[in-house]
Structure 1
């Protein structure tokens, strides 16, 4: 077998004949790398997971012919080859041989010429198209490789598994690997990983691992400063200055290792640590000579070091800081780091530190169709036009066209109106920097030095990424996250070139305020001269009887009234993307307070009170998007939000449908995932969400439905999700096809089907043994006050034989006189939580269910049995139940008791489901 140097020597002489050379070249490449050689073709191409000339259906509009991938490995790469030739030597460099004609194969162009550049761009486009075709069979490969046989490899990657867009890997400086680079061991390892373990090259996973390792130090530091009684604002500033200093020393913004060495020097004299750190940060703010580090420092400024106060440290705290400083901050993942730091500063969330965060792949899944896909489409048009101008010899015009697009890219504004610690903004920043890198590459090919771009202040930077965040610590963290991400990209792109001073600039791009409600002032709510308070929504205590955690009625906050409430304004932005808070309409009073909820509804009088909190963001973004004017750039081009998967249910569709059906300025959903796994960073829990992306006009969209979920190596990595995709007009119920959600209900069915009862108190539910105890001396209670209880699982599986206490319509005094033991049980198990309920009616009538359900009670009052079916089920089953049964709200109660009617609804031809929304963790249809 030939060695790598022999392989390079042999193939560097080839040129101009792709079809004659590529198969032999690639086969020999696998041999010198020590990876598996391509396999023979079989009769069935679907079984050919690793071969040359792999057939694939074309997905270029207007083409139907079968195409062939030059080299394919399932789950790894698509490799498309071309072969150019070296520039023709001058006559002076050649022997004069007049009897031999000078014939030279050019192939796909002379390397370094416009023809060659255009050929490589075309090959990239072919590979993209092949990836779309093969994805229907094998999923999206993580790598695309464009190869000029015997000369260079261009590597592009997309680890999303969704085909969101292949970008230069690992960046615009190093995505090209020349043949002679194969002598380097690290390049050989890279190719072997692409062949055998492509997932290991996902830099976001590598960064996530490093970032998680920091979380323990952050949690312990947060606890220690809190114990010492320091104000949260000072702790936040101190920790952010420390962590940025750790990053700065690892990327040589300050002398390498200098901050860690300073901490080590202070370990034996902790009393000197605070003055030393304060001196360092004062110098970093203004720039100049640092006596502490004995070195000249850049001017950082930017607000982070404007307050240079340092907290006093003990030996243990210094040790924790040293432990964090020893990590590799060059590769820290800013999106995860922001969440972890935010939690370290927030006591109620500190116990979740490191346990859960939103995986990078999930964030990209929304940012790509919202922000990057339209920008990339614009760029591909510009790139094609620029290469055409270059072919015509109009080099200056070609460069001007690329520069014009770059200027526009540097003016694009992205807004996250609920930005948290900035992970959506950071991902948008990084992906736009990758796009900027492609502009750099083209300008370099068009004869302009790369250093002319980005080093003179004309570059994509944090000022373009706008945020609104109510939590002051999260807002500060978001700014830091953007700057760390920006500087990471700077050093990946420009090597050790020093960024312009000041290194950090205070753009005021992250606003600390309410994103949906503005008001003149607040005042304490008073009733009869007494302050009205509510449970703080966080603090619990153990109930002395049940042992369960219940709201602590002593942990209270003031209820506020809001004067002159009005809708908050958002800054102008071409794109809006984010993850607004998950609060259902029924919980808004509890979570936000009566005063806030009432002010919000007053500020948005057209918003249905049954709509979830997130719909206020959705509605505002939709209005701005429908007002988009491309020529002037006014309004919003696209918006994309994460919402709960109840978005497609009736009470939230009332917000969507007026935008989608407007006859003059309609909105279209161009991308939607109705049900997707998610990690709620604020809750530290797995939830189900919907993704929607909207744009102006009436156009078709892509609807992706989850068909398979596989857990990652760790829960933090989220789940690997496989989708089925259909295209068409997406309606408010997030379906393509017939607008079922817009269908009118049959009047004949009115008052027949009812949702089951919402108890609003688990204490109402009792076991069979408890029911026997309560009815031992009060037999009349059975079937009236104590009734069989069924939920969906009881119907679909084996019944648990539970019962429910139902004291309606008895008054409190009536219940006490007739069923004192039963009322006492409800008082012990239900009343503590009802006392904190924001609904006055539920608080007052604590011994009743959350609603009286008189419509249901009236419908079944004269029946001996009812027909029941679960709202959530893969298979639709109906069953008879006694009319005395308390059916839980996930059950649909049909007020019919005839067998012929039962057989009718059970008939296959009569029963069709219209999936429209569901809760929970399963992918099941919801609705009948």
Structure 2
């Protein structure tokens, strides 16, 4: 059975501890890589060989032996601890060129037991990291599991399959007449449950899958009723649950957060639809990035509605181009400066964490929360690095009493406005999922599982029209640090009468409102809001912003 990423990261942490301080090329390379491949549950001898001979293209050269060779996939050049890895990479690239074209690997790696350098020749992506950080970078080796590496996390085949699974279920339910608010609430709840089933939120892994397979009838006739009962249980604290409750239902934890509050109509499933939900449950949602739920939104909302609203999913690459220069690059630079200090290092790192905790973020066109999710994920990752630098000396990670005391960032600093109810619900769930992933990784660092369940703190996502709302009701201007997002683009010729009237009012334009694109409304509103409090602004836009 394929290992999950949390299991792989735990294996990598153990591997790093076992090999700390070791590094003799001639005597330990074979043991090192047999155990390295075991991290991923893959026997090394099934895919790669040691000491593979290659002949030089130039007859004046003698050729050589590749330390570890996986045809078409990987070359490894191994050195003893402390040796020059630049020269080792040059040697590995020579070996690559000397191989027959059909055998040339996509990946090159050099290592001295304590440092790794991995190169993807197709995407040109380059990883450098020390042995203790292996668990942070194990996903760079997803090709060992048979996955094709991608440049961006939200473009991975895993993420696309996840959206396909939910899209199929959505369409099947809609075809049965289960539509609107009830369908949207059902999908959001199922998204959370599927994620919880694979990531440790539920006490037993695949608890929901087992429940589906053993307690619901094969024809799907009782599945809808079971789901409604489960939603009630997830919304009820243990001390308020009825005595004599079904034992399988009673095992599910209290989630809170209003995610499962409020009744929805009971959906009707058939045999095929039950199998769709089982297929979605078998899929490993622990590998899915919450940042892709915007593409799920696109897959289930019809194109006509998206065009009227100007809705569009923002890829992660574009998000990082916005939040990097807006705030993330500056925080990263401050972290690097603090780490370089010989004295006062801990105090500088503590000040940086204090600064991050004081930041608040607003996306006034948040859609399914892509911007908020990526921003929160990057901030939590930086905070994790700060915590590690402050608490971990050289050598294996020390255990701490309570991991919850280490992190101070939470989702309540993230605010959003979204005109459509379904993506606004997805945004909230996606932020909770991102928080859980960050907590899990922090717990792995210190050998202590950590989950914030039941949900107490929630992001502030408001369902409404951002151009009609008073943003100060959501967040006081003096408490807002950054405003960002990807507001809707609708050209003047495609706007409704209401949208055109909004622009005339907001921009104080006479007559028809000129030829302003609808996105201009967010620039004007954000500028006025920021003027009252000093927030910095960065939006995605088209060149139409300067053509009106």
Q: Same fold (TM over 0.5)?
A: yes
C-alpha RMSD of matched pairs (Å):
4.6
Q: Match for residue 221 of structure 1?
A: 169
Tell me, yes or no, if the aligned pair for 2:436 and 2:451 is still in contact at 8 Å: no
Q: Kindly indicate whether residue 330 of structure 2 is the aligned counterpart of residue 431 of structure 1.
A: no
Counterparts of 2:472 and 2:122, CA distance in 1: 37
Alignment gaps of 5+ in structure 2: 1-23, 33-63, 70-74, 94-106
Q: Match for residue 281 of structure 2?
A: 325
Distance 1:625 1:452, change over 3 A: farther
Distance 1:625 1:151, change over 3 A: farther
Q: Kindly indicate whether residue 212 of structure 2 is the aligned counterpart of residue 307 of structure 1.
A: no
Counterparts of 1:361 and 1:426, CA distance in 2: 13
Deviation at 1:578, TM superposition (A): 1.0
Work out which of the residue numbers 470, 481, 486 in structure 2 matches 1:579. 486
Deviation at 1:635, TM superposition (A): 1.8
Counterparts of 2:167 and 2:267, CA distance in 1: 17
Counterparts of 1:167 and 1:53, CA distance in 2: 14
Deviation at 1:512, TM superposition (A): 1.0
- Count of residue pairs the alignment pairs up: 451
Deviation at 1:282, TM superposition (A): 2.1
Deviation at 1:467, TM superposition (A): 1.0
Deviation at 1:263, TM superposition (A): 2.0
Distance 1:218 1:436, change over 3 A: same
Q: Match for residue 455 of structure 1?
A: 404
Q: Match for residue 286 of structure 1?
A: 236
Counterparts of 2:356 and 2:128, CA distance in 1: 17
Counterparts of 2:29 and 2:187, CA distance in 1: 54
Counterparts of 2:386 and 2:119, CA distance in 1: 17
Q: Match for residue 15 of structure 2?
A: none
Distance 1:347 1:620, change over 3 A: closer
Alignment of 1:339-358 (within 5 A): 339-341=295-297, 343-344=299-300, 348=304, 358=314
1:392-411 deviation per Cα after TM superposition (whole angstroms, max 9, x unaligned):
xxxxxx43442332232123
Deviation at 1:162, TM superposition (A): 11
Alignment of 1:558-637 (within 5 A): 571=476, 572-584=479-491, 586-587=492-493, 590-593=494-497, 595-605=498-508, 609-622=514-527, 634-636=533-535
Deviation at 1:319, TM superposition (A): 1.4
1:125-149 deviation per Cα after TM superposition (whole angstroms, max 9, x unaligned):
xxxxxxxxxxxxxxxxx9999x8xx
Distance 1:442 1:222, change over 3 A: same
1:161-207 deviation per Cα after TM superposition (whole angstroms, max 9, x unaligned):
899x989799967249xxxxxxxxx99x94998xxx998275716x7
Counterparts of 1:452 and 1:402, CA distance in 2: 21
Counterparts of 1:230 and 1:516, CA distance in 2: 31
Q: Match for residue 643 of structure 1?
A: 541
Q: Kindly indicate whether residue 211 of structure 2 is the aligned counterpart of residue 262 of structure 1.
A: yes
Work out which of the residue numbers 178, 191, 201 in structure 2 matches 1:230. 178
Q: Match for residue 402 of structure 1?
A: 349
Tell me, yes or no, if the aligned pair for 2:294 and 2:313 is still in contact at 8 Å: no
Tell me, yes or no, if the aligned pair for 1:342 and 1:474 is still in contact at 8 Å: no
Distance 1:438 1:294, change over 3 A: same
Q: Kindly indicate whether residue 166 of structure 2 is the aligned counterpart of residue 210 of structure 1.
A: no
Deviation at 1:596, TM superposition (A): 4.2
Counterparts of 1:173 and 1:450, CA distance in 2: 18
Deviation at 1:506, TM superposition (A): 5.4
Partner of 1:421, secondary structure, is: coil
Distance 1:228 1:621, change over 3 A: same
Counterparts of 2:91 and 2:324, CA distance in 1: 24
Counterparts of 1:501 and 1:192, CA distance in 2: 32
TM-score (norm 1): 0.42
Tell me, yes or no, if the aligned pair for 1:287 and 1:299 is still in contact at 8 Å: yes
Deviation at 1:235, TM superposition (A): 0.8
Q: Kindly indicate whether residue 135 of structure 2 is the aligned counterpart of residue 174 of structure 1.
A: yes
Partner of 1:463, secondary structure, is: helix
Counterparts of 1:191 and 1:278, CA distance in 2: 38
Counterparts of 2:442 and 2:289, CA distance in 1: 17
Distance 1:170 1:445, change over 3 A: closer
Partner of 1:467, secondary structure, is: strand
Q: Kindly indicate whether residue 390 of structure 2 is the aligned counterpart of residue 443 of structure 1.
A: yes
Deviation at 1:268, TM superposition (A): 2.1
Tell me, yes or no, if the aligned pair for 1:335 and 1:423 is still in contact at 8 Å: yes
1:801-845 deviation per Cα after TM superposition (whole angstroms, max 9, x unaligned):
xxxxxxxxxxxxxxxxxxxxxxxxxxxxxxxxxxxxxxxxxxxxx
Deviation at 1:295, TM superposition (A): 5.6
Distance 1:233 1:172, change over 3 A: farther
Distance 1:450 1:417, change over 3 A: farther
Counterparts of 1:419 and 1:74, CA distance in 2: 48
TM-score (norm 2): 0.69
Which has the larger helix fraction?
A: 2
Counterparts of 1:619 and 1:4, CA distance in 2: 67
Tell me, yes or no, if the aligned pair for 2:233 and 2:250 is still in contact at 8 Å: no
Q: Kindly indicate whether residue 67 of structure 2 is the aligned counterpart of residue 32 of structure 1.
A: yes
Which has the larger strand fraction?
A: 1
Work out which of the residue numbers 191, 199, 212 in structure 2 matches 1:243. 191
Tell me, yes or no, if the aligned pair for 2:221 and 2:268 is still in contact at 8 Å: yes
Tell me, yes or no, if the aligned pair for 2:495 and 2:518 is still in contact at 8 Å: no
Counterparts of 2:453 and 2:303, CA distance in 1: 34
Tell me, yes or no, if the aligned pair for 2:439 and 2:451 is still in contact at 8 Å: no
Alignment of 1:694-733 (within 5 A): none
Counterparts of 1:370 and 1:157, CA distance in 2: 29
Partner of 2:462, secondary structure, is: strand
Computing the radius of gyration from Cα coordinates, the structure with the larger value is 1
Counterparts of 2:422 and 2:373, CA distance in 1: 17
Alignment of 1:483-522 (within 5 A): 483-495=432-444, 497-505=448-456, 507-518=458-469
Q: Match for residue 13 of structure 2?
A: none
Distance 1:375 1:8, change over 3 A: same
Deviation at 1:605, TM superposition (A): 1.6
Q: Match for residue 412 of structure 1?
A: 359
Partner of 2:195, secondary structure, is: helix
Partner of 1:643, secondary structure, is: coil
Tell me, yes or no, if the aligned pair for 2:162 and 2:285 is still in contact at 8 Å: no
Tell me, yes or no, if the aligned pair for 1:463 and 1:507 is still in contact at 8 Å: yes
Tell me, yes or no, if the aligned pair for 2:367 and 2:418 is still in contact at 8 Å: yes
Deviation at 1:350, TM superposition (A): 9.8
Counterparts of 2:120 and 2:410, CA distance in 1: 23
Deviation at 1:211, TM superposition (A): 2.2
Distance 1:281 1:362, change over 3 A: same
Counterparts of 2:236 and 2:422, CA distance in 1: 24
Tell me, yes or no, if the aligned pair for 2:365 and 2:418 is still in contact at 8 Å: yes
Q: Match for residue 253 of structure 2?
A: 298
